[in-house]
Amino acid sequence: MNRKIRYKILSLFHIHQPHPKTELVFSSDFELLVSLILSAQSTDDMVNKTTFLLFKVANTPESILQLGIKKLKNYIRSVGLYNNKAQYIINTSLLLLEKYNNQIPNTRVELESFPGIGRKIANIILNVLFDKKTIAVDTHVFRVSNRTGFAIGENVIKVEKKLIKVVPSIFKKNIHFWFVYHGRYVCKARKQSCHICLINKFCEFINNKSI
């Protein structure tokens, strides 16, 4: 896919959704951090239902530690891998208090030192909380990038590096969310809704398949 087509695709997304944001519900930096840890192998909808109850009783590192791991597990039992995630959240709360003066760090290296936080979550935090032009590649971004021909790569790191290279600076802040929404609701893993696709006339997948 050439540069002109990529620019047209991103321009269409910008016109359609000029201010995209995560579907996770949060009211503080720490709430976003916890929500992202919970989101691994869980839907945003399930995470929001879980945190709606959790954050009423504990939404700071101090209150999470006061709640304790046993009660925390009861609150997050509905999300996948809740046992591991409870330990991640407890350890993250300790680390924030003991090493970072209750402030979430703004570098990828520091963020990835937290339990349960990998490159994808670190990139989202840097993007959302610190306004950095990082591009997180999850399963939706990976699928849309490859399927459409926008940025082809055999793994998430290669796709991320390709996106950083080919996406104009003005679009880097938002492309993650555009591709997430597109992959979640239109360019789905199965039963793609190509007939309502905003970018179908530019998509290499729809233009190369028999329909």
187 is in an annotated binding site: yes
Sign of CA dihedral 193, 196, 185, 154: positive
203 is in an annotated binding site: yes
Catalytic annotation present for 29: no
What angle do helix axes 139-148 and 175-185 make, rounded to 10 degrees? 80
Tell me the C-alpha distance between 45 and 136, whole Å.
19
Catalytic annotation present for 44: no
What angle do helix axes 29-39 and 119-130 make, rounded to 10 degrees? 150
Q: Which of 21, 71, 138, 191 is catalytic?
A: 138
86 is in an annotated binding site: no
Tell me the C-alpha distance between 89 and 37, whole Å.
7
Tokens of 83: 């046992």
Tell me the C-alpha distance between 147 and 206, whole Å.
9
Please report, as a single letter, which amino acid is at residue 173.
Answer: K
Q: Which of 21, 56, 70, 120 is catalytic?
A: 120
Q: Which residues are annotated as a binding site for [4Fe-4S] cluster?
A: 187, 194, 197, 203
Residues annotated catalytic, as ranges: 120, 138
Residues tagged in the binding site annotation: 187, 194, 197, 203
